[in-house]
Structure 1
Amino acid sequence: MTMRNGRTVRDLRRENRTAVLQSLYFDGPMSRFELGPATGLSSGSVSNVVAELVAEGLVEEAGSVDSAGGRPRILLRVTPGSGCMIGVDVGETRVRIELFDLTLTELARAERPLAVDSAHPHDRYEVGVVVDHIREGIAEVLRSAEVPAERLLGVGVGVPGIVAPTPEDGAVVHGQTTGWDAVPLERLLREAVDLPASVPYRIDNGAKTLGQAEMWFGAGRGASSAVVVLFGSGVGACVVTDPMGPGRALEWGHLKVRVRGRRCRCGALGCLEAYAGAEALLERWREAGGKPPAGADEETALTSMLAAAYPADPGTEPDAAALAVLEETAEYLGAGFADLVNLFQPERILVGGWAGLQLGARFLETVKGYVAEYALAYPAARVAIGMGRLGPDAVTVGAAILPLADFFALGGRRTEAGGEAAGEQPAWASTVRDRAAR
């Protein structure tokens, strides 16, 4: 049956299921009585949807609460073990794979280091090596947690670069700074990883997955709009204008902050990433006479740089070279943040990523001062700039909720291979096909 607005009864049932599942997930446990106002559904619709979800094992009872003058009300919640998700973070120094249940409780974790050769930095992202790491990590977490692959809602993967969907190969990654030129990552994973064909892959930019995680569960909750910035070896960002919807990845690190400036990893001159990414910070410190620990990875070396610039012992002289580089970087970041303020006028700007959490703790207040100096006064006075709350592993969490978001959007139904929901097509689909065939 098709309604006047083109929606079918099936569409309406899916939307009702989505409303109930999301209310229970984000604001539950809740009673049937509370679900009515929370979802806007009638008591009859709530009862029908809840009965379906309980019968399918997606919703369960979670105790009861007293009601005014009546029987205790049964509380409901999403069943934690009714599905699992895998999140993968293809980071600068390692590939991290985590298995979560529906409450985002971590069930198992695996990490695979990416060997770094300073003479050939792109080699760390050799495609075959990354695919093997993901394949081995997925098998390890499923085995460790004793979770059958059939329980997976999907595998989410956060990667550096631009991700473009294609009909032939699924998600294709264009990573100029990593040497990935149109890498058909989804197809390669489907060929290499031993998972059922029904388990979907959701591959997206790492900054975008970080943004989704912070908006759903972190410092973005309650904001109508935000820009979430990711600092690691490089720099990225995600702009979110719908708190529950997907954000949009921004190649913010390749904003030009200096004409004919330093050479960036992307090959261009004067990018913000050439001044503010961890790799660039350490390189500038070396050029200024600094001495990062020999053989240390980027995270350890950046920690050493910050300790040298801001010594814990008040009697110790700061490393002048490290301090000068970091003070200059704060101004570049202030200018970059000001551009985000002027372009998007967000309610919040949030700083995340392993390097961002280290840097922000030291000089975020200085950066805010430069934002006020460089941004337009009206939007600058209305933006709150702060730290993300989900820690350095937030990209993995965000990757895991990519398939979870699809699961909610489908009303708790699983997807078939290729991302299409099982079942009949909406009424308009056949109409459009008929018109095209004329």
Structure 2
Amino acid sequence: MGGHDRRTVRDLRRSNRAAVLRRLYFEGPLSRQELAPATGLSSGSISNVATELLAEGVLEEAGSVGSDGGRPRRLLRVAPHCACLVGVDVGETRVRVELFDLMLGEVARSEQPLDADGHDAEFVVRLIEKGLTAVLAHVDAATGPLLGVGVGVPGIVEHPADGGALVHGQTIGWDAVPLEAMLRESVGFPGGRFPNSGCTDGDRVPLYIGNGAKTLGQAEMWFGAGRGARDAVIALIGSGVGACVVTGGEPYAGASSSAGEWGHTVLSVGGRACRCGARGCLEAYVGAGAVLERWREAGGAPDADAAAGDEEAALAGLLEAARGEGSAADAARDVLAGTAEYLGAGIADLVNLFNPERIVIGGWAGLLLGPQLLPAVRETTDAYALRYPAARTAVELCRLGPDAVTVGAATLPLRRFLDAGGSPPAGVALSV
């Protein structure tokens, strides 16, 4: 007996709204006439959806274009100021919080440095709270209400069936940290509501927590170097190393949401010690701290900023030293050459395992080292990977810069909004 289509009228309406909204979000402005073939919907359905979304303030008119002998066609686009989003990046040296409009234009930002307390979970929650307080002061009628907060964290994020995200961050000492509950209970989330959020009493501001490498991957797939690819790997290289594996256009999570821990694949059995406690991990060779450690072993002298824990300044010092002359410059160049070879070998593993169209290198260290190392990385990748898939894989640099994790975190509530066809969370009224 054949199956039955169980979709209700409400489901169909939401699906039609989502199809129109996504096209306009990523490809707009477009006319109603252009939307019909792009979405596969009838002109009547397009008209109904557009009328609804215009009335709700999700869409706005964006001028007109001429047509062949007919009336000008009115263009539609997503209204950037109908709502706002927050992205949080729990990084390696600081917590960055940004408030965005609906089109991910920055409205406000706050950066809180991690100090001697490092990644102590309660301390991180206080920094997030401080950043949220600063940026949410800018939420008003001009920004529209807050749709949600996305948080990108280092480590594996578990979403138990009974709710409340847990974070397993082995390299930062987090073991099943109940981050969602801690944030909900903090002063920054009084009763789950923010001032000016648009949420009524009893409604909770939506909170989404995801792995930082995966949020970076989502941002690059939507807006950066991964756009248009169906199968890709977005790599994050900082002090830690991770990846977002995208297959069929969707991030791959694995059985327990831990897929993409590329930095903890073994490059050398019994090799260098890694922060995770194992030996020979890729991260122990190409993570920022590992690169600097190899430079010190080669006789390099990181500057005072590096001694104070500023890895970015120290890595910039390594690049500068490699441009000089003499034995010290030779040592710096050897370290960079080794890093390119290790990274190329790690990327060759990705090519052989996943056969992606693109591999995109991001993260602050990846972007700092990438321009100089990329030619050697590509050469090494070709040497270690199988020829057929390697010839069909592009290795590129991230286009979104060091803010990519924060932007990606904001896409977590944004994705929910787009999937819901522009319907806001319960209790949130969009401004018209």
Give yes or no for TM over 0.5: yes
Question: In structure 2, what is the equivalent of residue 20 of structure 1?
Answer: 20
Q: 2:241 aligns with which of 214, 235, 238?
A: 235
Whole-Å separation in 1 of the counterparts to 2:141 and 2:247: 36
- SS class of match (1:81): coil
- SS class of match (1:125): coil
Number of equivalent positions: 405
- SS class of match (2:165): strand
- SS class of match (2:266): coil
What displacement does 1:246 show?
3.8
- Verify the 8 A CA contact 2:81 2:144 in the aligned structure 1: no
Question: In structure 1, what is the equivalent of residue 430 of structure 2?
Answer: none
Question: CA-to-partner distance for each residue in 1:234-280, whole Å, 9 max, x for gaps?
Answer: 1111111233x445450000010011101100000100001100011
- Verify the 8 A CA contact 1:108 1:145 in the aligned structure 2: no
Q: 1:285-296 maps to which residues of 2 (within 5 A)?
A: 285-296=295-306
What displacement does 1:363 show?
1.0
Question: In structure 1, what is the equivalent of residue 119 of structure 2?
Answer: 125
Question: In structure 1, what is the equivalent of residue 200 of structure 2?
Answer: none
What displacement does 1:198 show?
2.6
Question: CA-to-partner distance for each residue in 1:148-174, whole Å, 9 max, x for gaps?
Answer: 998111111111100010134521100
- SS class of match (1:257): coil
Question: In structure 1, what is the equivalent of residue 92 of structure 2?
Answer: 92
Q: C-alpha root-mean-square deviation of aligned residues, in Å?
A: 1.8
What displacement does 1:285 show?
1.3
Whole-Å separation in 2 of the counterparts to 1:65 and 1:198: 42
Whole-Å separation in 2 of the counterparts to 1:138 and 1:275: 35
| Aligned residue type for 1:306 | L
Question: In structure 1, what is the equivalent of residue 155 of structure 2?
Answer: 161
- SS class of match (2:346): helix
Question: In structure 2, what is the equivalent of residue 435 of structure 1?
Answer: none
Whole-Å separation in 2 of the counterparts to 1:150 and 1:387: 34
Q: Following TM superposition, where does structure 1 have runs of at least 4 consecutive aligned residues deviating by more than 3 angstroms?
A: 144-150, 245-249, 315-318
- Verify the 8 A CA contact 1:33 1:43 in the aligned structure 2: yes
- Verify the 8 A CA contact 1:200 1:416 in the aligned structure 2: no
- SS class of match (1:271): coil
Question: In structure 2, what is the equivalent of residue 307 of structure 1?
Answer: 320
TM-score by structure 2 length? 0.90
Cα distance change, pair 169–224 in 1 and its aligned pair in 2 (3 A):
closer
Q: 1:216 aligns with which of 203, 218, 222?
A: 222
Question: CA-to-partner distance for each residue in 1:111-156, whole Å, 9 max, x for gaps?
Answer: 000115xxxxxx4100111101111111100114546998111111
| Aligned residue type for 1:366 | A
What displacement does 1:51 show?
1.1
- Verify the 8 A CA contact 2:238 2:287 in the aligned structure 1: yes
Q: 1:172 aligns with which of 158, 162, 166?
A: 166
Whole-Å separation in 2 of the counterparts to 1:161 and 1:293: 30
What displacement does 1:294 show?
2.0
Question: In structure 2, what is the equivalent of residue 66 of structure 1?
Answer: 66
The gaps in structure 1 that reach 5 residues or longer are: 117-122, 418-438
What displacement does 1:211 show?
0.6
Q: Please, which moves more after superposition, 62-71 or 193-202?
A: 193-202
Cα distance change, pair 145–152 in 1 and its aligned pair in 2 (3 A):
closer
- Verify the 8 A CA contact 2:154 2:212 in the aligned structure 1: yes
Question: In structure 2, what is the equivalent of residue 266 of structure 1?
Answer: 276
Question: In structure 1, what is the equivalent of residue 411 of structure 2?
Answer: 401
| Aligned residue type for 2:244 | C
The gaps in structure 2 that reach 5 residues or longer are: 194-202, 254-258, 428-432
- SS class of match (2:62): strand
- SS class of match (1:267): coil
Whole-Å separation in 1 of the counterparts to 2:174 and 2:208: 18
Whole-Å separation in 2 of the counterparts to 1:229 and 1:54: 39
Give the percent of matched residue pairs that are identical in Structure 1 and Structure 2. 63
- Verify the 8 A CA contact 1:233 1:277 in the aligned structure 2: yes
